Each structure stands twice: as structure tokens, then as C-alpha cells.
Structure 1
Amino acid sequence: MPGQGTRPVALVTGAAGGLGGAIAAALARRGFDLVLNDLAEGAALQAAGAAARDAGAEVRFQLQDIAAVEALPAFVEAAASPFGRLDCLINNAGVSVLSRGDVLDVAPESFDRCMSVNLRGQFFLAQAVARHMLAAPAGRKSIITVTSVAVDEVIGKVLAEYSIAKAGLSHMIKHFAVRLAPCGIDCYELRPGMMKTGMTASSREKYDGLIAAGFVPAGRWGELDEIGETAANLAAGALRYAVGQVIHVDGGMRLKVF
């Protein structure tokens, strides 16, 4: 294993997606080197890596399906190996529902897929990273988990299994936060609102209408960089006393306006 360098290192899962790529670029601008993860080393992951390198980061790719939880301890060790350290996990990988529809029509395959990736996989990845961090030299570290505004402020009528998995993930973060805070590992929940990503592409017209009707007080879609900069601030230690807190980046969408 290489000797431990001076620059902090972050592992970003789901880095080929819009949010993951934006977070990676923002971390690079804050002086982090990066390990970028996704299922395959396609064009989107390569583009995320190139943007991070342009911002000054050294970048490695580490492919892994986080739903394969038995492989996650080895995955974490492999991710940390190139730099000799791991200071931050951005727990971002996730999947949407197989078919948007009525809660009465949710198929077991879609439910199990959401639970496997969006909850079970993220739990055991956070566990593996936490164990690695606890065995590493002292220093401030962080685990930042991306959930959704659809956890409890609003209900996605056609996203039941997705929202249920994310709600469990939100509760998970609190458990890791109270366990790890005394050890110098900060845990946060980052809760985006309406963002133009692959997951929202099929509902873009619907969401445009909701925004126009005032459903989002800010009156617009969120910018991916707004999520990226928030994650980078958290990773850099800007809110160290905000143990286990939810950071809302949703344009006020959770607020009930009358």
C-alpha cells in the first residue's frame, strides 16, 4: 500500500450520475483526491473523472455494485489503497423504481431492487467504511449520505418503494452519527429537492408544472453544483457540530406554503 499522502481522499459512489459527478468536481476544487465508483467505466464516469482532474484532483476508478454487500469490505480496502487513506465517503449510489405507478401495483422486483441498493447496500458500505476509518490514523473524517426530499416532507405517489428505502436510509444515518461522532467521524444526510438528473428525466414536464405552480418556493430546479458545493462543505468540516443532521438543499420544497 502506498504511504499516506497529505491530501484528503473521498470515495464517491454513483459517480457516473449527475449528482455524483457534481459532488466529485466540488470535492476536487476543495483539495480532495478521489476514488470514483459506479457499475461500469463508461463515458459518464470518464467525464466525471476528467472534470475532477481539471479541478486539480488525482482520480482513480473503482467499479463495484454496492448491492453485492459481501464484496464491500474488499471494495473499501481497494478504494483506499492507491492513496493510502480514505477520509470521506459520499454514499450517493442509488436506483429509481422499475415502473412509476400506484402503490397498489408495486412489484416485488422493484421493491427489492430499491431496498437492495438504496438501503441495504448503503448501510453495509457505510459500515465497511466506518470500520476502515476507525482502524486508520486519527484525523477528521466524514460519511455523507444522499437521500431525497421525498423521505418525509412530501410523498411521491408513484415512487413508494424508492421513498420507503430512502426513509430507512435517513434513519440509518442517525445510528451511524451517534456511534461515530466520538471517534471524529462526521455523519450527515444530504437531502436534495428537484434536480435535473437521469432519475427525474421521465417526469421533467410534470415537475416543470409543479415549479411553475409554486410548489418550490425558490421557483426553479436545483443546480447540481448546489448539491456538490454543499457536500464539499460538509466534507471539509464546515458543520462539524451538526452531528447526524439533515441538510436540506431543496429550494424550500419541504415547506408547506399557504
Structure 2
Amino acid sequence: MSSNGVALVTGAAQGIGRAIALRLADDGFDVAVNDISVSTELQNLVKEIQERGRVSSIHAADVSQDAQVKEMIEAVVQTHGSLDVMVANAGVAGPPGLNIADVTLEEWDRIMNINARGTFLSYKYAGLQMVKQGRGGRIIGASSLAGKQGGVNQWAYTASKFAVRGLTQAAAIEFGSHGITVNAYAPGLIETPMMFGSLPTERQDLLKAQTPLKTFGVPTDIADLVSFIASKESKFITGQSISINGGLFSD
């Protein structure tokens, strides 16, 4: 079966990353998947991708580490022959509800290293590979509603997701002449383990009530958006962080 190209999705073991990997497989991409370590969830994801008739592989790496990201990109190309779509999805949220006095330097560095540095390294090495290939590509990052509007007691997370927007704009300018588009998705309230683990139930209920659609999104909502951003039909969209939040915040 012919392939539409090769995609790499970081943070793919669960939630949004998992949904994106499966959707790109449905779209005809061979899909390499990443997480911090090899897990049963990641192995099962590869099986599901293969059951869809696509080639898949696991590339465990810490996206905050320069050498590991570089080696991951090289391994994907060695395994699949190219890299056409990079989805820098890996990210973490901090403990909920911390006032500034309670935010430690260690927690700040942990979140910024994974969310911001990890996105930078993914953009960098994927972009360099796509430039080398000489046929364009798609680079896609994970911002957030918190990257559009400061979150309540979300100091480091908010800063990291604003950083993704800036990185996306800068990368779009640098890589644009090579036919590479760079965009990000900015989800609102999505039913994922990370969201439910970081927001108290009362806060979730309040935010749901404030959302015009009165509901949370699901990971496949984000995957549907990524499907379009990764497609050839999105060729004139770059440098954007696209809100997908049920109307909770409007740009």
C-alpha cells in the first residue's frame, strides 16, 4: 500500500498524541511514535497502526535532551526513509492551583524543559531534516488555551505554551522558503489523563459551564485538526496557533 509520507508523533502513548498517531495512519502516513520510555500503551499503539495497514516504529526519547531528539529523528529516517510530518505533541502540566510563592525552580524548569525546550528541539531537528530532503514538510506543535490567555495559577505551564506560539511563528519564517509549514494546535478542555489530573473537579465543572458548547472536547477533535494541518490542502497556512476550545476563548 502506497504511503502519503512518514510522520513522527511525540508523547504518543496516550491522550491527544495517541489519537493523532491513529488519525495520521488513517490518512495514509506511516507513523513513528515516541514517548519517554517503551510502554505497553506504546506497543499497543504500534499494533493498532499496523492493523490499519501502515508501517510503525517506536522511538523512546526524552524530548528535552538535545542528543536524544537528534538521534530520534535520525532513527526515524533510517527506519522509514524520510520525515514528512513532525508532531511535537509531548508535554506536561504542573500541579494545579499553585500560587507564585509555591512554584519551585525545579517545577518551573521541568515544565519549561519538556514543553518549550522539547518543542524547540523537535522543530529544529525535524526542520533540518526536511530542508535536507528538499521537498517541504509539515511541523506541528502543541500550544494550549493557556498559550492564548494566562491560566489561573498556571505559571510555568502558561509560559511554556506561550513559548510554543513564539517558536511556531519564528520557525514558520525560517523554514517557509523551503516549503515547510509550521503551525500549532491550541486546545481548550480536552478529556485526557493530563487534564483530569491537573484540574480539580469543581474547576472542571465551572469551565464546562462557561464553554458555549457546554462540553469538553475529546482527543479525536484535536486529531481531526492535525489531519488537516498535515495535509497538502493546508499549504497556505503557516505560523498559526489554531484555537480549538469549544468557544471558551476567542482570538
Distance 1:147 1:30 in 2: 23
Q: Which of 203, 206, 211 is the matching residue for 1:216? A: 211
Q: Distance in 1 between matches of 2:242 and 2:250?
A: 14
Distance 1:109 1:99, change over 3 A: farther
- Alpha carbons of 1:248 and 1:169: their partners in 2 closer, same or farther (altered >3 Å)? same
Q: Does 1:144 align with 2:140?
A: yes
Aligned to 1:83: 80
Task: Tell me what 1:128 maps to.
Answer: 125
Structure 1: how far apart are the matches of 2:201 and 2:51? 34
Residues 146-185 of structure 1 mapped to structure 2, 5 A cutoff: 146-153=142-149, 155-185=150-180
Q: Residues 135 and 220 from structure 1, CA distance in 2 versus in 1: closer, same or farther, beyond 3 angstroms? A: same
Which amino acid is 1:60 matched to?
S
Confirm or deny: 8 A CA contact 2:22 2:48 kept in the other structure.
yes
TM-score (norm. length: structure 2): 0.93
Which residue is 2:229 aligned to? Answer: 234
Length, aligned pairs only = 249
- Aligned-partner Cα distance in 2 for 1:187–1:234: 9
Classify the secondary structure of the residue corresponding to 1:97. Answer: coil
Instruction: Give the superposition deviation at 1:246.
Output: 1.9
Pair 1:186-2:201 in alignment? no
State the secondary structure of the residue aligned to 1:21.
helix
Stretch moving more, 50-59 or 113-122: 50-59
Q: Report the Cα distance in structure 2 between the residues aligned to 1:24 and 1:7, rounded to whole angstroms.
A: 14
Whole-angstrom distance in 2 between the partners of 1:183 and 1:128: 15
1:232/1:207 CA distance change after superposition, 3 Å? farther
Which residue, out of 83, 91, 94, partners 2:91? 94
Q: What RMSD in Å do the two structures reach over aligned CA positions? A: 1.7
Q: Which whole-Å CA distance do the structure 1 matches of 2:208 and 2:112 have between them?
A: 33
How many angstroms does 1:99 deviate by? 5.7
One-letter amino acid of the counterpart of residue 44, structure 2: A
Indicate if the aligned counterparts of 1:16 and 1:45 stay in contact, CA closer than 8 A. Answer: yes
User: Structure 1 regions of 5+ residues with no counterpart?
Assistant: none
Alpha carbons of 1:238 and 1:104: their partners in 2 closer, same or farther (altered >3 Å)? farther
What fraction of aligned residue pairs are identical, expressed as a percent? 28
Alignment deviations for residues 130-165 of structure 1 (CA, whole Å, 9 cap, x no partner): 1111111x3241000011101123x32222111111
CA distance in 2 between counterparts of 1:162 and 1:244 reads 21
Distance in 1 of aligned mates of 2:153 and 2:130: 38
Q: Which residue of 1 aligns with 2:102?
A: 105
* 8 Å Cα contact 2:208/2:216 also seen in 1: no
Shift of 1:207: 4.3
Q: Which has the higher helix share?
A: 2
Structure 2 counterpart SS, 1:57: coil
Which residue number corresponds to residue 9 of structure 1? 6
- CA distance in 1 between counterparts of 2:127 and 2:245 reads 28
- In structure 1, how many angstroms separate the alpha carbons of the residues matched to 2:192 and 2:33? 18
Conservation of the 8 A alpha-carbon contact between 1:99 and 1:110: no
Q: Distance in 1 between matches of 2:233 and 2:200?
A: 33
Go from structure 1 to structure 2 and tell me whether the alpha carbon gap of 1:212 and 1:88 turns closer, same or farther (over 3 Å shift): closer
SS in 2 for 1:122: helix
Gaps of 5+ in 2: none
Contact 1:115 1:165 in 2 (8 A): yes
Alignment partners' CA distance in 1, 2:164 and 2:207: 27
- Given the superposition, is the C-alpha separation of residues 226 and 99 from structure 1 closer, same or farther in structure 2, using an over 3 Å criterion? closer
Structure-2 change in CA distance of 1:227 and 1:204 (3 Å): farther
User: 1:91, 1:122 within 8 Å by CA — same for their partners in 2?
Assistant: yes
